[in-house]
Structure 1
Amino acid sequence: MRALHLCSIFLGLVDRAVVNGAPQQLLYRTNEHADLDPYPGRPRLTFRPDGTFKITVFSDLHYGENPWDEWGPEQDRNSTRLVKAVLNDEKPDYVVLNGDLITGENTFRENSTTLIDEIVAPLNQAGIPFSSSHGNHDNQANITHAEEILREQKVAPLLSYTRTAPAGVGGPGGPGNYWVPIYRRKNDRAPVLILWFFDSRGGFSAGPNSTRLPDWVDASVGGWIRSETRAMNAAWGSAEKRGALAFVHIPPHVATDLQNNFDSAENPGLNADSLDGGGSVQATTDPANSGKDNTFWDAVNEHIQNLHAVISGHDHGDEWCARDRSKDVIFCFGKHSGYGGYTGDGWGYGVRNLLFTSADPEVGVETWIRMEDGETHARITLNKDYS
């Protein structure tokens, strides 16, 4: 009982500190117990009995383009075919929808959220748990990140683990900051893997007087990461045996330097999208937030231990991984999955798979690109020796 009481006291102190910094509540205010479970009453996500855990990442599905002609709905049907084929073949333990689920500037306001029903239907049918990050095209005059999250929770209440950040965390248009615990076994007290999701915002606010939104993870998220990791350590003990994997739709600004300096032999995968153009990475709309030492990127690398990689979408023609040597963390692109959105000759459509062969965070994670037809390439292991 004493240990539980001390944990509650610690969490209360964290709560007050963050409130003074801006947020009005914390995710774990109602979870002041040693489990720190953000999904009470929900099935725990666990590794398989053989010690493996597989994640399939669908990036940039872009449903809802050109609904006024045949071309748009046809692309949605093609995307759904791809999703079903991949789920049937890969049989992942978890799915991540990594941003730009909907092309919000094309779809109609009155029925835009129903596209979420279409996107998650194959996941519901297959019974695979999942969660989402959101991108610049998910914030437009006809849709918002918050609306997509609410709709996803409504139509997939048993399988969606997507949720919103506490009030005051994420900035305008950026509610989708959260984490998902993965356990070795369902009765374990502490998880062995944390999946982090960050909202890079971008796009425009909804409504007739739409205004541009910042295209970077808000600075408030940095303080939230610090508070959450402290609470985890208080509830579960040291993070030495706990791994982490992060998802954010728009890549961090450092990806530009990585692209300009990497070796294609060490960093295999399509590299057809230049990141030097406006809008390719976070904070291109405001250079003041584009430095390598911004609050979010510093907090990710300072407070999240055993971080295997940070994975983005957004730039449809890139699918490589590279190490940010200044922070000693690996960054990866996913793979353009949806038939909506821009593409190039020979780029194709597919997913990024990640396979944990052990719950031990010291063991590297295998990852590769799988194309719609089943062909695979760019297979690497995310470990301390990579790149």
Structure 2
Amino acid sequence: MGSRSVMWVLSLAFMSCAVQVLGQDQLRFKDGKFEITVFSDLHFGEAEWTDCAECQGYDQKTVAAMNRILDKEKTDLAVLNGDLLSGEAMHAGSNLGNHIDRMLRPLVDRNVPWASTYGNHDRDRYADPNVILAKEQSYNSGTKRAHTRKQLTGADANVGATNYYLPVMDTSGRNIALILWFFDSRAGNALQTGNALDRSVAPEVVEWYKKQQADIRKIYGKDFPSIAFVHIPFKSARDLQARRKENVAAAPGVDREGVDYQGRACPTCTYTGSDVSFAQALVDTPNLIAVVSGHNHKVDWCMKWGNDRPLASNPSKGNGVNVCFGRRAGYGGYGKDLQKGARKILVREDRVKNNEVETWNRLEFGAISGRATLNSTYGMDKYPAAQE
């Protein structure tokens, strides 16, 4: 078999592995657009605290917020970007599946596919990410499509549960136009023991990511435009936050708390630098448009991380990647004074080739906040102030 034939076979093998996931329909652009709605920090399950009267209605309010947002925003893929549950509220008699069913109902009712990352509140003494994952994947029949998966094997405490990628095909369905990467930032507490877990994307995951990139590049001879999702941001996001104060109009969004980040060893939460290899791998990724996080309930801006003014943190240069946060979507957790919402990412097939996307936060009661175009001039353009 000639070298060209071998490459063709390898390409088919990659496509089969990458696109045919659990028998689901492939993700693809429709009429030149692919629309993502990111729900961060939903925090279902706080009604398990039976001594909290206020908590009893949170899940119903969160479902209503999701419904309102989805009624306004056409969605080709919903991303559930960590802290799906408030795991610390769970007890020995809790049924995690019931909470996941309730969370997914707005998506299932609309036949909207979804993909998740898991966060620190999704793992606790009685909250098992593997149970959450199995429940999500139980919807993989008919048009009820869960794209969440565990592509890197290993114990949850060691590598996390949600490390994987999804190719998005162009309108024709024949070519990859975009790759979505999902990472598990771990943290939280261990199942049964309640011991604190490492608070960063694992080194094994970083090496896996590099290998997947290299394999894709070898087969296709190119680096596709991509977007990454991870619940807890890396430390450089905190330094970018300080820089944002110099020109708020260039990075519209809510900014009402200091960014909490990976690499902190709790309970003392001393910074260890364990997030550096992950952050470096991301900024070294050609054509990575944005890294989208949650975790910080009172932050929802995007910042351009360039090379012209290196940060004090490591890595110091971001190669132009946009570091974004989504509006907190759930009624559980802290930060109850802000209106709930979700980050929308509109990807146009003719513009993503230039690493350009449009984004905004759709608020629960209809308003759009912080609308911006993430392109080569983002960080210099001026935008209206965000709505809280």
Alignment map for 1:249-260 (pairs within 5 Å)? 249-260=231-242
Equivalent residue in structure 1 for 2:362, among 325, 349, 370: 370
TM-superposition CA deviations, 1:307-362 (whole Å, max 9, x none): 110000001000111122212211000010001110153x2111111111225420
> Does residue 107 of the first structure (1) align with residue 90 of the second (2)?
yes
Q: What is the aligned length? A: 354
- For 2:243, the aligned partner's letter is N
CA distance in 2, matches of 1:159, 1:36: 17
Alignment map for 1:158-307 (pairs within 5 Å)? 158-168=144-154, 172=158, 174-185=160-171, 187-188=173-174, 190-207=175-192, 209-239=193-223, 242-262=224-244, 263-275=247-259, 280-285=260-265, 287-290=271-274, 294-302=276-284, 304-307=285-288
CA distance in 1, matches of 2:43, 2:171: 36
Task: Look up the match of 1:20.
Answer: none
Cα offset, 1:5, TM superposition = 2.5
Assess if the C-alpha contact under 8 Å between 1:34 and 1:235 holds in 2: no
Task: Look up the match of 1:16.
Answer: none
Task: Look up the match of 2:334.
Answer: 342
Q: Which moved more, 1:374-383 or 1:33-42?
A: 33-42
Cα offset, 1:38, TM superposition = 4.5
Look up the SS of the partner of 1:32 in the other structure. helix
Look up the SS of the partner of 2:322 in the other structure. strand
Assess if the C-alpha contact under 8 Å between 1:124 and 1:156 holds in 2: no
Cα offset, 1:105, TM superposition = 0.8
Identify unmatched segments of 5+ residues in structure 2: 307-316, 380-388
CA distance in 2, matches of 1:109, 1:226: 39
Relative to structure 1, the CA distance from residue 249 to residue 80 in structure 2 (aligned partners, 3 Å threshold; closer, same or farther) is same
CA distance in 2, matches of 1:171, 1:38: 28
CA distance in 1, matches of 2:373, 2:64: 29
Q: Which moved more, 1:115-124 or 1:321-330?
A: 321-330
Relative to structure 1, the CA distance from residue 230 to residue 6 in structure 2 (aligned partners, 3 Å threshold; closer, same or farther) is same
Equivalent residue in structure 2 for 1:43, among 25, 42, 45: 25
Relative to structure 1, the CA distance from residue 317 to residue 220 in structure 2 (aligned partners, 3 Å threshold; closer, same or farther) is same
Task: Look up the match of 1:63.
Answer: 44
Task: Look up the match of 1:22.
Answer: none
> Does residue 379 of the first structure (1) align with residue 363 of the second (2)?
no
Relative to structure 1, the CA distance from residue 38 to residue 166 in structure 2 (aligned partners, 3 Å threshold; closer, same or farther) is farther
CA distance in 1, matches of 2:279, 2:75: 29
CA distance in 1, matches of 2:15, 2:367: 45
Task: Look up the match of 2:305.
Answer: 324
- For 2:91, the aligned partner's letter is F
CA distance in 2, matches of 1:60, 1:247: 13
Assess if the C-alpha contact under 8 Å between 2:80 and 2:117 holds in 1: yes
CA distance in 2, matches of 1:234, 1:173: 26
Equivalent residue in structure 1 for 2:139, among 127, 151, 155: 155
Relative to structure 1, the CA distance from residue 258 to residue 81 in structure 2 (aligned partners, 3 Å threshold; closer, same or farther) is same
Task: Look up the match of 2:59.
Answer: 76
Relative to structure 1, the CA distance from residue 85 to residue 192 in structure 2 (aligned partners, 3 Å threshold; closer, same or farther) is same
Identify unmatched segments of 5+ residues in structure 1: 12-30
CA distance in 2, matches of 1:95, 1:273: 26
- TM-score normalised according to structure 2 size: 0.86
Assess if the C-alpha contact under 8 Å between 1:7 and 1:234 holds in 2: no
CA distance in 2, matches of 1:171, 1:222: 15
Equivalent residue in structure 2 for 1:351, among 339, 342, 358: 342
